[in-house]
Amino acid sequence: MGNAWWNLTLRFLLELAALLGLGIAGWSLSDGWGRWLLALGLPLVAAVLWGIFAVLNDPSRSGRAPVPVPGVVRLALELVILFGGAAGFYGAGYTTTGIIVALLIAISYAFSMDRLGWLLRQ
């Protein structure tokens, strides 16, 4: 079910939401230039990490891994970024949005047991 069209669509939207949540968190954490730096920097760093650290031959990606990592490391990175975005919404005062995003992340992973098993075996 991890590769079902609806779960892949949900996953993509959750990735975008995580970047937005990190940006909103960065905006709310500072003032002045620091506000802009964090609002743009946090999502950028998350996106770079997401793109660089991958498991070789991951069927959910191109199979390439600029920096190959074990599956458990990739899973931890995914969880930190996705739930970090949800926490960003929550911490910036968008409590309901943060909770809904966190629940949708859990639902997506619950329907991705095949991928989770694959990641943990790598």
- pLDDT for 121 equals 94
Give 23: exposed, middle or buried? Use CB within 10 Å, 0-12, 13-18, 19+: buried
Q: pLDDT-derived band of residue 64, with 50, 70 and 90 as boundaries?
A: confident
Q: pLDDT-derived band of residue 62, with 50, 70 and 90 as boundaries?
A: confident
Question: pLDDT at residue 2 above 70?
Answer: no
- pLDDT for 1 equals 60
Nearest Cα to Cα of residue 67 among 77, 80, 82: 77
- pLDDT for 89 equals 98
d(CA 18, CA 22): 6
3-state SS assignment for residue 68: strand
Chain centroid offset of residue 88 CA: 12
The mean pLDDT of 90-107, rounded to a whole number, is: 97
